[in-house]
Amino acid sequence: MGTRRKSREMALQMLFQSDMGKQTAEHVRHTFWAEHGSTSGEVRGFADDLFRVATDRVLEIDPLIERHAEHWRMERMAVVDRNLLRAAVAEFLGYPETPRAVVINETLEIARKFSSLESVQFVNGVLDSVRKELEGG
């Protein structure tokens, strides 16, 4: 598994922990990295940054997702799906130089690992719609 994929998975896990435990970002970082201390600096750096963008910009990210998730409010989505979407949109916003198709494909691979087939289709549809809005079309 590539460095970026591992970072994306870890960012998802941190977002999941924050969401389910209603924990502050700082608390999540402290406990998560205490448990994953042997992670390389490169993996940790990108994971931390994705998590930071997702948590710092959640008031921008969540409404963007909801606009494109027809008939779904954030709190009604499966926790994994909601946080997959947050991480991907955070990468769209925080790393505009990364091709959005790459972000979507990586997110779908992670969804296949951590979620259901229906979720993969849902996540794909939402991210493609968000991508189109961000690209102005």
Tell me the CATH number at 17: 1.10.940.10
pLDDT at 50 over 80: yes
**pLDDT attached to residue 40:** 86
The set of residues, in sequence order, having a beta carbon less than 8 Å from that of 56 and lying 6+ positions away, is none
pLDDT at 1 over 70: no
Number of domains in the chain: 1
pLDDT at 65 over 70: yes
The set of residues, in sequence order, having a beta carbon less than 8 Å from that of 80 and lying 6+ positions away, is 12, 16, 111, 114, 115, 119
The set of residues, in sequence order, having a beta carbon less than 8 Å from that of 71 and lying 6+ positions away, is none
Residue 6 burial class via C-beta count within 10 angstroms: exposed 0-12, middle 13-18, buried 19 and up? middle
Among 136, 26, 28, 48, CA closest to 94: 48
pLDDT at 117 over 90: no
Other C-beta atoms within 10 Å of 92: how many? 21
The set of residues, in sequence order, having a beta carbon less than 8 Å from that of 4 and lying 6+ positions away, is 46, 106
Residue 134 burial class via C-beta count within 10 angstroms: exposed 0-12, middle 13-18, buried 19 and up? middle
Average pLDDT score over the chain: 94
**pLDDT attached to residue 137:** 66
**Mean pLDDT value across residues 17-35:** 93
Assign 20 a pLDDT band (cuts: 50, 70, 90): very high
Domain that holds residue 51: 3-134
